[in-house]
Structure 1
Amino acid sequence: MSSLFSKTISLGKELKISDSEFRDLRDFIYAQCGIYIADNRKYLLENRLANRLKKLSLKDFGEYYYYLQYDSGKGQELSKLFEVITTNETSFYRNPPQLKVFQENILADVIQEQRKKGLKSLRIWSAGCSTGEEPYTLAMILSEVLKGEIASWDIKITANDLSARVLDSARKGVYSDYSLRTTPKEIVQKYFDEDGKNFRIKSELKRMVSFGQINLKDKSHLKRVERSDIVFCRNVIIYFDDDMKKQVISAFYDNLHPGGYLIIGHSESLHNISRTFKPIHYPGAIIYQKEA
């Protein structure tokens, strides 16, 4: 979790957020990016924003709210705000049972359908890609499935996140042992080069992935994403309220080609959110399909 839990001390006391300051900031964040912070998570906002107040020499959360609205540096600070309120806990090959279903069932089906049409193109959207582990994992799986044939395919993985900082990290493609903790050893040897104590993604994988900043709250951002065969949005919609979830899932539906697939986090569900997708049950995973 990329969070800041340091405490700011003001006049010898720990800085606290008032109920009204919390409501103002919570509503502001929701209006900006759709992330909803419930009343019982007031402490989270207080802890994560304390360091920003200290950095900006602001005396309370009310001043910070004013800064975000009116200061000349508000645009830059908004990016910092997005960084500290989002969670970027991830790793390569996260949730192996789900990825096994993706590799053996979903990807195999999409590739077969493309071949039937005489096509060799594939578009995958990783929405909420964090520091790049997910889209690069997808590139590895594609390489494993298509093998020597992959050079003849037109493949693009569009990888987006709200945080500019994590995208900068993703583009570098350099990772520690910790990011590789769930990755099979033979995959590490095949798709990474050692870089001191770290590991660097091989260039042929980097070429498959295109990174860019996106705000899932902004419909104009969503419409700019190329139509997809498969959408990954894992462990993202848990941060949204039902209205925002419905808006985002509807955008994914519109983005997908008929017959395309949506893959969300294994603990997430579209129950009571959307009936437009057909749920397909596999051992260890539920995958959602846009019917042709």
Structure 2
Amino acid sequence: MSNVFELFWQMMVGFVSAFIRLIWKPSAKSIHGETALVTGAGHGLGRLLCIRLAKLGAKIVAVDVNEEANQETVEILKQNGGIAFGYTVDLRKAEEIHRLASKVRDEVGDVTMLINNAGIIYPTDILSLTEEMISNTFRVNVISHFLLIKEFLSNMKRKNHGHIFAIASYAGLIGNAFLTDYSASKHAVVGLMEGLRNELKRQKLNGINLTCVCPSFVSTGMVQNPRARLGLVPVLTPEYTVNKSVEALLRNEFLVTLPSATFQRVVRDLVPDSVMDALQAYVRAEVDLIDNADE
């Protein structure tokens, strides 16, 4: 019986703490001197994340499949007084990820912040998806997260210090039509982060924080003409997305939706499927489809 009372007490404390945080935001932590590895650093959110984290004093390890674009990011950081290293890596290939981790440990040092940002998307119907497209989506959007976490988590655990950050998506909370592989991969990211967070809590490793950001459409050019009826699913700017993402990271927030929609998952679980079908049909969140996809 005492265990039951303890559970209820912990739940009450959790609810009260959450309410207090809504009113008084926790102070931002310092990341000066941390080493942040950022995937997808050559463009879009990845480049902006690098710039923002570098301004806050983090040493940046920029990772991208596009060597030229990634080097541009590194040069931007250095020109602004930052410390940055660039590595060209195809995240679809496990052997390249393992080689990257070894080189970073030898040439830069321990990674204390892992920023899993890279992603690919093929907006098309499920029958048009090739096996290669599906494989690419999961290798970049999910499996690379697992492999990079496995490479760098051990050192974080030894020191009970670190931060793992992932860009997921609204599509990781509610599946999108014509984005079936992408939606499935982002659901997997949310599940990975939730499971890992609980695992670390069980191991009493409270010095390792996780942040999982689920934005709606972001105007990075990954998809063409994102839209929804009456703007009910807004198209976010990369700058807004990065500012809110870094703010969440600095405050050690876990699951963050952009724009805020903390009720979304609760609604999905409570309302009948027919109601969700009607809502999705009305909102009609969609992007232009492709005939042939390139990464």
| TM-score > 0.5 by shorter chain | no
Q: TM-score category by the smaller chain?
A: 0.3 to 0.5
Which structure features the higher share of strand residues?
1
- How high is the TM-score relative to the length of structure 1? 0.37
Q: TM-score, normalised by structure 2?
A: 0.36
Larger Cα-atom Rg: 1
